[in-house]
Structure 1
Amino acid sequence: MEPAIALNISILVTIVGLTGYAVYTAFGPPAKELDDPFEDHED
């Protein structure tokens, strides 16, 4: 495998992994601990 292809695959895997982690954090079980600052300051 050429080094350019290996580098592209590793960058793609990193991006997909970070995106998956962000979606899991935003919508998965850890999202229960997130606070909405706009709801905290409603009048």
Structure 2
Amino acid sequence: MEPAMALNISLCAAVVGLTGYAIYTAFGPPASELNDPFEDHED
């Protein structure tokens, strides 16, 4: 395998992994610990 192809595959895997982690953090079980700043400062 050429070095450029290996680099492309590893970068794509990193992007997919970070995107998956971000979605898990935003919508998964850790999301219950997040707070909404708009709800904290109601008028």
User: TM-score scaled to structure 1, two decimals?
Assistant: 0.98
Structure-to-structure mapping, 1:4-43, within 5 angstroms? 4-43=4-43
Runs of at least 4 residues off by over 6 Å: none
Which consecutive unaligned segments of at least 5 residues does structure 1 have?
none
Which structure 2 residue ranges, 5 or more long, are not aligned? none
Partner in structure 2 of residue 2 of structure 1? 2
Could you tell me how far apart the structure 2 residues matched to 1:38 and 1:10 are? 39
Q: How many residues align?
A: 43
Over aligned residue pairs, what C-alpha RMSD do you find?
A: 0.3
